[in-house]
Structure 1
C-alpha cells in the first residue's frame, strides 16, 4: 500500500507541476500579446476643438422695429399691409397671441439662457404665423426679427 500511495503522490506532483507550467506559459503569452498590441497602437491624436459661431442678436431692437412697423398707435405700415403680410386682421392676431401667452409658458416674455431678455411674444407669434402663411424656411426671419432657425422652428412647433 505504501507503494501505491507513494506513486499516487508522484502523479499529483506531476499534475501540479504541469498545471503550474501551463499557467506560467499562458500568463507569459498573454503579456507578450498585450505588449505587442500596445506597441502597434498609434498615439491618440487629439480632435480639433470647434467653437460655435456666436451671432449677436439684439432682440429688443428687433422687437421695437416690429412694434413700430405694425403694432404702434400710428404704425409705419397700416392695416392693409398687416392684413397682407400676416394673412389676418390685427384683432385676430392679438386674440391668438393673448391665448398663447395664457396657455403656454414658452410664449411668455422671459430671460434667455444667457440672462438677457429673450424674444417677445409678438416676435414668436409673428415667426410662427408667417411660417404658416408663407411656408418659408425657418431661417428667413433672422434678419428682420433676429430669431435664429432653431428658435423659429420651436415657435412653430409650440404654436401648432
Structure 2
C-alpha cells in the first residue's frame, strides 16, 4: 500500500479539494433543508399599454388617390415621390415577413406595411428617438425598434 508521501502532490491537492467541496455542499444542503419555508412573494402584475393601430390616417394623409396632405408634403418628408415609396413598401413586403400585414397573438390586425416602412424610413432619415414615431404613426416603441 502506498504512503501519503508516495502520492503525486497535484493529485493529493485535487483529492483534498474534492473532499472539502463535497463536505461544504453537503453542509449547505442540510442547512437549506432545515430552514423554515419562506412565504412566496407575489410578483407585481404589469399590464401592457395597447397602442391603437390607426393605419388609415397615415394612408389618407399621404398615400390615398387624393391625399389629404398632398404630394409636396410627401416629398418634403421622405425626399421621394409616392410611386417610389410604394415600390419600396411592396419590395420590403415581398422580401421580409416582418413588413407584411399580420394578426397578432390576440387576433387583432397588426400594423400595416406602410406604417412599418414609414417608421423605418423616417428613423433612418431623421435619426431621432424611437418613441417620437409612436404619436403620429401609432406604432409602439418595440415595433419601431
TM norm structure 2:
0.71
Using the TM superposition, give the Cα deviation of residue 52 of structure 1 relative to its aligned residue in structure 2, in angstroms. 2.5
1:77 and 2:69 matched = yes
1:67 maps onto 2:59 in alignment: yes
Distance 1:104 1:149 in 2: 20
Match of 2:109 in 1: 117
Match of 1:44 in 2: 38
How far did residue 90 of structure 1 move? 1.4
Q: CA separation in 1, counterparts of 2:41 and 2:130?
A: 32
State the number of aligned residues: 119
Gaps of 5+ in 1: 1-29, 154-160
In structure 2, the residue matched to 1:57 is 51
TM-score by length of 1: 0.65
> Which of 1 and 2 has greater Rg?
1
* Bigger share in helix: 1
Give RMSD over aligned pairs. Answer: 2.3
Q: Which residue does the alignment assign to 2:82? A: 90
Give structure 1 regions of 4+ aligned residues with deviation exceeding 6 angstroms. Answer: none
Relative to structure 1, the CA distance from residue 104 to residue 37 in structure 2 (aligned partners, 3 Å threshold; closer, same or farther) is closer
Whole-angstrom distance in 2 between the partners of 1:104 and 1:37: 52
In 1, Cα distance between the equivalents of 2:103 and 2:118? 19
